[in-house]
Amino acid sequence: MDPERSSYTFGDSDLAAHRLALLAETFGPTTARFLRMHRNGTPSLVVDLGCGPGYTTELLRDILRPGRTMAIDSSRTYVELVAQRLGSSAEVLCADALALPDIIRDVDVIFARFLLTHLADPLRAIAQWLERLGSDGVFLSEEVESITTDEPTLVAYLNLQREMLRANGNELEIGPLLAQVADTRAQVISSELAILSPPTAVAARMFAMTPVWRSAESRSLSTTLPLRRRPRQPSHGVSDMLYSALTKVASKSP
């Protein structure tokens, strides 16, 4: 892939994969409900863009039961993980979602969860993907509208995460921007807010797993990202204090 076109702020280390597993547990039920709402016959080809370790691909395979399920990610590590976990039930492809190969065409369902938030021009990306749909094809997307919390440690973390994503040209709370897709040639079938209230400890656990806190993880992240798009790292002092505050909140039950 062209490293200038996109870079994923949180990398693909073991820790990042574990964070996505916890994220999948938290968001799985909402995603499943969303997919059931949009199930329509038996699709021939369903594509999971920015599939990560493949938790979303699994849901697509099991709920939409397509003829072919394809998982695409720019991380070779994640694509290999999906291949191991899903075996021959999914085709995997390591590719940039912004430069899809020509074989991705006439797709019935293109799905992307928490990918647009990592792209510099999400509306342009959607316009590109619409070109890959068949005549009755749909694009389904799940992103963050807003995150609110009264817990000061989580507020501090979220402010830092917003800042890091912005330094990489991305927005965390991208929902309001996506509403503008209606101004493009997309015909919006539905747009819905799903409200999730994970326990504070679970949110803190997920946040603490963001792989930028610990110096070893930070070093491996820095080496995997192209120089000009490297996200701003918090200073070690801030990082250590926030990380230890987050782990304290995370250790409270449940």
Ligand X SMILES: C[S@@+](CC[C@H](N)C(=O)[O-])C[C@H]1O[C@@H](n2cnc3c(N)ncnc32)[C@H](O)[C@@H]1O
Q: Which residue in 34, 78, 157, 213 binds ligand X (CB under 6 A)?
A: 78
Token pair, residue 53, equals 């370790």
Residue whose beta carbon is closest to ligand X: 52
- Shortest CB 213 distance to ligand X, Å: 17
CA triplet 105, 57, 91: central angle to 5 degrees? 55
Q: Which residue in 46, 66, 69, 74 binds ligand X (CB under 6 A)?
A: 74
Q: Which residue in 35, 45, 46, 51 binds ligand X (CB under 6 A)?
A: 51
Q: Which residue in 34, 55, 139, 243 binds ligand X (CB under 6 A)?
A: 55
Instruction: For residue 50, state whether it binds ligand X (rule: CB under 6 A).
Output: yes
Token pair, residue 174, equals 């991208």
Instruction: For residue 170, state whether it binds ligand X (rule: CB under 6 A).
Output: no
Of 4 and 183, which CB lies nearer to ligand X in the complex structure?
4
Give the contact letters, 109-138, x = binds to ligand X (CB under 6 A), - = no: ----xxx--x--------------------
Tell which residue, 48, 159, 167, has the closest CA to residue 107: 48
Q: Are 54 and 81 in contact (CB under 8 A)?
A: yes
- Shortest CB 9 distance to ligand X, Å: 9
Give the contact letters, 85-104, x = binds to ligand X (CB under 6 A), - = no: -----------xxx------
- Shortest CB 235 distance to ligand X, Å: 25
Instruction: For residue 75, state whether it binds ligand X (rule: CB under 6 A).
Output: yes
Binding range to ligand X, per CB under 6 A, among 50-58, 62-70, 159-167, 214-222: 50-58
Which residues partner with 73 through β-bridges? 94
Of 4 and 150, which CB lies nearer to ligand X in the complex structure?
4
Instruction: For residue 210, state whether it binds ligand X (rule: CB under 6 A).
Output: no
For the purposes of burial, counting CB atoms within 10 Å of the CB of 52, is it exposed (0-12), middle (13-18) or buried (19 or more)?
Answer: buried
Distance CA 99, CA 147 (A): 31
Q: How far is CA 43 from CA 66, 102, 103, 142, 235, in A?
A: 5, 19, 17, 20, 48
- Hey, which bits of the chain come out as E strands? 45-49, 68-73, 91-94, 107-113, 133-142
Tell which residue, 56, 127, 62, 131, has the closest CA to residue 71: 56
**Residues 21 to 40: which contact ligand X by CB under 6 A?**
23-24
Element (H, E) at 215: helix 215-224
Summarize as ranges the residues that interact with ligand X (CB under 6 A): 6, 8, 12, 20, 23-24, 50-52, 55-56, 73-75, 78, 96-98, 113-115, 118
